[in-house]
Structure 1
Amino acid sequence: MKDQARVVVIGGGIAGCSALYHLTREGWSDVMLIERDELTSGTTWHSAAQVTNFGMNQTMIGLKSHSIALYKELRDDPDYPVGYNYADGGIRLANTPEQMDGYRHFTSVAAGMGVEFEVIDAAECARRHPLISADNLLGGLWDPHDGHIDPAQLCQALARRARLAGAEVNRHTPVTGLTQHADHTWTVHTVKGDVRAEIVVNAGGYRCNEIGAMMGVSHPVASMEHQYFLTEDIPAITEAGHRMPLLRCPISDYYCRQEKGGLLLGFYEQDCRTWGLDGIDPHFSNALCPDDLDRVTDVLEGAFARMPALMDTGIREVVNGPITYTIDGAPLVGPIPGKRNAFCIIGLRAGLGEGGGHGWLLAQQIVHGEAEYDTWVIDPRRFTDHTTVELTALKAIEDYQNEFRFHLPHEHRPAGRPMKTTPLTPLLAAEGAHFGTVNGWERVADIKPSPDFTETLGYRFNEVHDVVAGEVAAVQNGVGLTEVSGFNRFELTGSGVHDFLDRMICGRVTRKPGRVGLGYLLNHHGMLKAEATVANLPASDRGPDRVWYGSAAASEFHDMDWLSSHLDPGEDVAIRSLTNDQTILVLAGPGSRAVLSEVARGDWSRDAFPWLSVRETHIGIAPATVLGVSFSGELAYEIHV
């Protein structure tokens, strides 16, 4: 084993093998993979290994398209062909109009990425999959690219290609510790010796938090037990003369695909179980959890009703193994928050189907600083420090129970709520506020016109449309007040602050005390990285001259990483987060100046306090900072308290 490498990838499942292979494809050959046991000995080996092109946003569709193209190439490799059943086709069933509307939406999104889906009716579903009943069925979404792949062969093929390109793969080499040095490089300690690395990648699967602990971080990833069984041969399959399409059923929470002459049938039962939260047996490798088919009885009944042939079919094998979930269900692929030269590719609950694409985008980020796609949906910095093990477990259970039920517009699921609130949250609730969540913060979405008002969730205009129209009219013609909780707020101090911001932000940044500007931060490719409001606060009894940097609630860790990583050694700039210390009230509308003048001393006229001004004041007896900014198109003020 070498004692140094440019990149060390820890973990030899689909995530690690894909990352290693794609690093070599991006031109880096001095890379190493370290696996504690054998390749694919974690979750990968027992994966159902479905490979679909379906995704709920363009990034996920694009990376799955990359996976499919790569897997087809590996299938056709004459030197090491991988078993890949491509284009069996797959159907996602629906029994509600809202689900059908969703499938039409996702079909449109996919078309924008050059991927063709088809929305079909119930009769066509039954024609394409002759084992299913069309009872209680409206239709479904057809993915012509759906299929499945051999997990072990896939990972071995990726590792083989990486080795041919110069990478090193070390099996049966447990990592025992990680040490980061002052220059941000790492020493990876293993049972076979130390490796000095410029960059470390956590691809540890369900052991990702063991690796995270070695770095001093905790990832919002939890494992769930997941069961599937393999049936005996089914005559309707063996006699069909063609392969059966894959099936995913949000009605009864199961999926199936053809496995030889029978089916692989998997379940997302409501009575589900987390796994490994209090530690994982170090000897758990190529291992499974005990069978527990009693938990899936309800799901089985639904599967039997949808596929009557199952009632006459025997079970030849049961598999129950851990799969990983993140706090929002999407993987964590990219820079690790608060660390330099540290990346992760973890929480891949659909790892085989997506793993090729995730490794591709991660390698681009490591080598080039950015990926060719917008990776925010998988960026590990999209969460902040509210993502405890306990909350992650609750959200993992909720996601597992809704595996095939996509989020509808305006839907904010209840597990773990409320997580982050302000003193105003109960007051607004008493006024009828309906809350959504942003980075864990409860934030007002609209004000219910009556206590029993409910919204019909879906992809069409609903009851909330008129409610919001009334709120817009109030702001347009009078005045409105709401709280915008959780907005990111950094305080920058030091003699070098303005020079630093000039370097970070394209365009001119105002240096005038008491003035506010809007800035855009670009990466080295000239692409937009962040947007921020910059407010210059003069020295006062609340502090010295300082600058407030404000940005979106979800960007707190992302923007702190970006700013901190670009500070020069010795630069007199300090950055402190105030996000959890204050909240924001937005006062908007043509009557807002009159309201502000009634509650705060001083002259708030246009001449005394023009647009893009900032002033420290008191609202009643409460210290506050007021910014004259508007994102509603009307006269408005941000009141930070």
Structure 2
Amino acid sequence: MTEHARVVVIGGGNMGAGVLYHLAHMGWTDCVLIEKAELTSGATWHAAGLVSRMVGGQALGSIHDYGVDLYKRIEAETDVGVSWHNCGSLRVATSPDHMDWINHIRDAILARGQDAHIIDADEVARLNPLYDVKAAGVLGAVYTPDDGHVDPSGTCQAMAKGARQMGAKVRRNCRVTATHQLPSGEWHVETEQGTIIAQHVVNAGGYHARQLGHMVGLDLPITTMLHHYVVTDAVPEFKAMAHEIPVTRDDHFCGYVRREQGSALIGLYDKQDPQSVWLDGCPWDSVNALFEPNWDGITPWLENCFERMPALMNRGIKRVVNGGITYTPDGAMMLGPAPGLNNYWLACGATVGIAWGPGAGRALAEWMVEGSANISTRAFDPRRFGLWADADFARRRATEDYTLRQAMPYPQHQRNSCRDIKRSGAYDRTAALGAVFEEAGGWERPRLYGDDPVGWRRTSAFDQAAAECKTVRQQVGVADLSAFAKFRISGPRAEDWLNAVCANRMPRVGRICLTLLLNRKGTIEGEATIARTSPDSFHFVTGAPSERRVWDWLTLHCGVPMDGVTIENITDETGILCLAGPNARKVLSACTSADVSTGGLRWLSCTSLDVAGLPLLAMRLSFTGELAYELHAPNDKLGELWDALWEAGQPHGIGTFGTKALDSLRLEKFYRGGHELTNDASHKDICLERFAATDKAFVGRDAMMARQPRSRVALLMLNGEQTDALLGEAVFLGDQLVGSITSAAYGHCVGKSLAIAFLADVARASGTVLTVSLLGQQVAATVLADAPWDPENARLKA
């Protein structure tokens, strides 16, 4: 039997149920969820059920917040119990660094308009009398009173029933056996109970997501890791308490404790010996699977827990759960379009599906129905991983991420495993000069030249970044900026096609434009620098982490026919060096016979050059705000190009600079970056209407013009010493929450701590004095009228 549906959701855990529920509530009721066994029989059923607002960041935090809100009300909608326990949550701090971390978490929670408090050790002891605050040396804790825990099976069943009430279908004990796309673009989904032809497929397969991906040619970087929790015998002390203890998290035992009826439930992450399973695929007949306890692995962490909560030490353990949790290489879920496929969506790789399922389901439903989610999905987009994220990469990175579950996520922290995937041709030169590297789309990119110690406040890297900035502002700096995606777009219809896809107008031959790409919702799908190298050829550059996402948008999703247009991905074969500073022209002129003066190569122009005998494309622009040239050259020759520029620059005070300095330089120019150019913002939100040529037709034009922003970007100057923001902090006008910070850096050349924030209109007037919640302080901040460095762009155009 063959039937038809708008959407087939594969997988009956909390993620799949969340997608089905929200699709139905958005009007897509012709949807079918397929589950191979019973609902919740994968990872959902054995989850500890924690649901918390205690998470940083706007996007992921909004997902957590929505989960709390939905679980509070869904029983009334569906009559299915979810056992909501509103006990609150604590995360304790036992060192100054810990205190900075929990203050930063609180800042981010406040920025979302939620309730969070920093409390002292006495209040920790009152809320959780079993916790020995003196032995632990507790300095404080962050307390989120609106948190709790739920019955995982109940949440999934409630969302599934809510979807069925709207007309969606749920089919249990029905395994998907094959999936392929028909020439019509529809999906042919074969199941044990017949075939379904669907417009869309959502892979919410949990443990089986990789195998489902293999059916359609995907190799999803998802690994199943094992996680324990134990349930003790009854704890008599609970009976005497007038309240339920908050879920208590502590890095010392790398886990959490909550009440489970009259017992204690202790969750543990074994950092010493993390275990992965099912590397060749989860067996299809696996149902409600658990594994033998690894007592050697968890005993040290249990002992640490008993140090903190000695009342639990002599309680017996009546139950041990060692179950699988799916992990991606960076710990974030895979939510959004599958790479290279049309109308095949992913909602998998979730480490905390109970907390994420409702919010992730809502975001994906918005994406499918409306063309984009109402939160930024960049951190979850499956296309953030390139083809380099193979099975070995997935396993090694997932294992590393598991060890970081209860560790402080310092702003400077970089993963250690699976490095050196992509190196520029100048890597050996920058490494020899002391570069500290960061990852960007698989590339190794110089962040700083010198030590870059971790910390929540200024470190020795502050002075090093200051020196790099001053080199660029006063002399000349060279940077390896190869970590960008580069496409060659050509053909007789290339100009017309790009004009239809991009918001800005395509430049004349030899010129450059900066443009945004919008979706049908009118928000930002991508951004690009485009150089026109001939009448029918364009050099298209976008961020390295966006390579697969923007490629898919251009070739699959934008909806503009590509007849007469050819796109080539030249990312790996092309490297980029940037020369920036008042002496940049002198250095470049010493390496080429071409005229690179303003008369020969003016601002926002491009040309083909021979530099030190190497043919390359020179582009006159930069994110630094200085006279600058980007040199796009064959990557295998980039080391030679570096050597020539370095030698020619010696008489002119040449130095190096990395992305930490670049952030400072761009903030001084109020240049928007990746944290502002997201899918929940448009030209109006980021105040860049001049980059939209609204007198021509392009994707998303009408929706963008009709959009009424709730907030817009502004540049803030933070007052006082040691007041550099970390991103995500709340901004207040008096007692009114008016926005949050998305980018921040100290402006070393203007002597001001700067931040970009999305603000309500009531707070955006120049000179308005606001307050930023920052690491336990209330810091005054002033709205600036314009960029504090060269607002007239005289230096850029020199």
TM over 0.5: yes
Which whole-Å CA distance do the structure 2 matches of 1:401 and 1:238 have between them?
35
User: Per the alignment, in what secondary structure is the counterpart of residue 99 of structure 1?
Assistant: helix
User: Per the alignment, in what secondary structure is the counterpart of residue 16 of structure 2?
Assistant: helix
Which whole-Å CA distance do the structure 1 matches of 2:164 and 2:278 have between them?
33
* Amino acid in the other structure paired with 1:276: W
* Amino acid in the other structure paired with 1:362: L
Which whole-Å CA distance do the structure 1 matches of 2:2 and 2:164 have between them?
14
State the Cα deviation string for residues 467-519 of structure 1 (Å, max 9, x = none): 11111111111101110132011110111110011111223221x22211111
1:527 aligned residue: 523
* Amino acid in the other structure paired with 1:241: A
Which whole-Å CA distance do the structure 2 matches of 1:356 and 1:73 have between them?
12
Deviation at 1:184, TM superposition (A): 1.8
5+ residue gaps, structure 1, are 449-453, 540-544
Deviation at 1:603, TM superposition (A): 1.4
| Most deviating of 554-563 and 200-209 | 554-563
Check whether the contact 1:95–1:251 (CA below 8 A) recurs between aligned residues. Answer: no
1:158 aligned residue: 159
State the Cα deviation string for residues 204-252 of structure 1 (Å, max 9, x = none): 0011001100111111211101111111001111322321110111222
2:575 aligned residue: 583
Which whole-Å CA distance do the structure 1 matches of 2:253 and 2:421 have between them?
30
1:623 aligned residue: 615
1:283 aligned residue: 285
State the Cα deviation string for residues 113-133 of structure 1 (Å, max 9, x = none): 111111122332222111111
> Which one of the candidate residues 361, 365, 368 is aligned to 1:366?
368
Deviation at 1:196, TM superposition (A): 0.1
Check whether the contact 1:8–1:34 (CA below 8 A) recurs between aligned residues. Answer: yes
Deviation at 1:610, TM superposition (A): 1.0
1:306 aligned residue: 308
* Amino acid in the other structure paired with 1:297: T
Check whether the contact 1:364–1:370 (CA below 8 A) recurs between aligned residues. Answer: yes
Check whether the contact 1:188–1:194 (CA below 8 A) recurs between aligned residues. Answer: yes
Deviation at 1:137, TM superposition (A): 2.4
1:461 aligned residue: 458
Matched, 1:550 2:549: no
Which whole-Å CA distance do the structure 2 matches of 1:338 and 1:233 have between them?
53
Matched, 1:273 2:275: yes
| Most deviating of 422-431 and 350-359 | 422-431
Deviation at 1:567, TM superposition (A): 5.4
Check whether the contact 1:479–1:590 (CA below 8 A) recurs between aligned residues. Answer: yes
User: Per the alignment, in what secondary structure is the counterpart of residue 313 of structure 2?
Assistant: helix
Which whole-Å CA distance do the structure 2 matches of 1:121 and 1:419 have between them?
45
Which whole-Å CA distance do the structure 2 matches of 1:78 and 1:355 have between them?
17
Which whole-Å CA distance do the structure 2 matches of 1:471 and 1:63 have between them?
38
Matched, 1:186 2:187: yes
1:451 aligned residue: none
* Amino acid in the other structure paired with 2:486: R
* CA distance 1:119–1:2, change in 2 (3 Å): farther
Deviation at 1:266, TM superposition (A): 1.1
5+ residue gaps, structure 2, are 634-798
Check whether the contact 1:75–1:83 (CA below 8 A) recurs between aligned residues. Answer: no
Matched, 1:608 2:605: no
Taking structure 1 as the reference length, what is the TM-score of the superposition?
0.96
* CA distance 1:211–1:373, change in 2 (3 Å): same
* Amino acid in the other structure paired with 2:159: L
Check whether the contact 2:501–2:560 (CA below 8 A) recurs between aligned residues. Answer: no
Which whole-Å CA distance do the structure 1 matches of 2:613 and 2:121 have between them?
64
Check whether the contact 1:76–1:82 (CA below 8 A) recurs between aligned residues. Answer: no
* Amino acid in the other structure paired with 1:347: G
Which whole-Å CA distance do the structure 1 matches of 2:446 and 2:63 have between them?
34
User: Per the alignment, in what secondary structure is the counterpart of residue 455 of structure 1?
Assistant: coil
Which whole-Å CA distance do the structure 1 matches of 2:177 and 2:516 have between them?
42
Deviation at 1:370, TM superposition (A): 1.0
* CA distance 1:558–1:309, change in 2 (3 Å): same
Deviation at 1:418, TM superposition (A): 2.6
Query: Mapping of 1:111-260 within 5 angstroms?
Result: 111-134=110-133, 135-260=136-261
State the Cα deviation string for residues 583-626 of structure 1 (Å, max 9, x = none): 11111001111111111231111101111121222222333211
User: Per the alignment, in what secondary structure is the counterpart of residue 599 of structure 1?
Assistant: coil
Query: Mapping of 1:58-69 within 5 angstroms?
Result: 58-69=58-69
Deviation at 1:111, TM superposition (A): 1.3
Deviation at 1:81, TM superposition (A): 2.9
Aligned residues: 629
Query: Mapping of 1:21-40 within 5 angstroms?
Result: 21-40=21-40
User: Per the alignment, in what secondary structure is the counterpart of residue 379 of structure 2?
Assistant: helix
| Most deviating of 95-104 and 43-52 | 95-104
Which whole-Å CA distance do the structure 2 matches of 1:104 and 1:287 have between them?
39
Which whole-Å CA distance do the structure 2 matches of 1:463 and 1:396 have between them?
31
* Amino acid in the other structure paired with 2:583: G
Deviation at 1:569, TM superposition (A): 4.2
Deviation at 1:523, TM superposition (A): 1.9
Matched, 1:489 2:486: yes
1:416 aligned residue: 418
User: Per the alignment, in what secondary structure is the counterpart of residue 125 of structure 2?
Assistant: helix
2:554 aligned residue: 563
* Amino acid in the other structure paired with 1:405: A
Which whole-Å CA distance do the structure 1 matches of 2:405 and 2:80 have between them?
34
Which whole-Å CA distance do the structure 1 matches of 2:411 and 2:283 have between them?
41
User: Per the alignment, in what secondary structure is the counterpart of residue 256 of structure 1?
Assistant: strand
Deviation at 1:190, TM superposition (A): 1.0
Check whether the contact 2:493–2:563 (CA below 8 A) recurs between aligned residues. Answer: yes
User: Per the alignment, in what secondary structure is the counterpart of residue 312 of structure 1?
Assistant: coil
Query: Mapping of 1:346-385 within 5 angstroms?
Result: 346-385=348-387
User: Per the alignment, in what secondary structure is the counterpart of residue 418 of structure 1?
Assistant: coil
Which whole-Å CA distance do the structure 1 matches of 2:34 and 2:452 have between them?
51
> Which one of the candidate residues 494, 498, 501 is aligned to 1:501?
498
Check whether the contact 1:455–1:463 (CA below 8 A) recurs between aligned residues. Answer: yes
Query: Mapping of 1:41-80 within 5 angstroms?
Result: 41-77=41-77, 79-80=79-80
* CA distance 1:570–1:117, change in 2 (3 Å): closer
State the Cα deviation string for residues 386-415 of structure 1 (Å, max 9, x = none): 211111211211111111224211221212
* CA distance 1:444–1:82, change in 2 (3 Å): same
2:509 aligned residue: 513
User: Per the alignment, in what secondary structure is the counterpart of residue 177 of structure 1?
Assistant: strand
Check whether the contact 1:94–1:251 (CA below 8 A) recurs between aligned residues. Answer: no
Check whether the contact 2:274–2:399 (CA below 8 A) recurs between aligned residues. Answer: yes
Matched, 1:474 2:471: yes
> Which one of the candidate residues 427, 430, 441 is aligned to 2:429?
427
Which whole-Å CA distance do the structure 2 matches of 1:420 and 1:570 have between them?
30
* Amino acid in the other structure paired with 1:634: E
User: Per the alignment, in what secondary structure is the counterpart of residue 506 of structure 1?
Assistant: coil
Which whole-Å CA distance do the structure 2 matches of 1:314 and 1:485 have between them?
58
User: Per the alignment, in what secondary structure is the counterpart of residue 189 of structure 1?
Assistant: strand
State the Cα deviation string for residues 122-179 of structure 1 (Å, max 9, x = none): 3322221111112232222111122111111111111112112111111111111111
1:640 aligned residue: 632
Which whole-Å CA distance do the structure 2 matches of 1:412 and 1:262 have between them?
39
Deviation at 1:570, TM superposition (A): 5.8
RMSD: 1.5
Which whole-Å CA distance do the structure 2 matches of 1:185 and 1:556 have between them?
26
| Most deviating of 249-258 and 340-349 | 249-258
Check whether the contact 2:6–2:30 (CA below 8 A) recurs between aligned residues. Answer: yes
Check whether the contact 2:38–2:172 (CA below 8 A) recurs between aligned residues. Answer: yes
| Most deviating of 244-253 and 35-44 | 244-253
Check whether the contact 2:255–2:268 (CA below 8 A) recurs between aligned residues. Answer: yes
Deviation at 1:630, TM superposition (A): 1.6
* Amino acid in the other structure paired with 1:609: L
Identity of aligned residues (%): 38
Which whole-Å CA distance do the structure 1 matches of 2:442 and 2:92 have between them?
31
Matched, 1:599 2:598: no
1:399 aligned residue: 401
* CA distance 1:427–1:299, change in 2 (3 Å): same
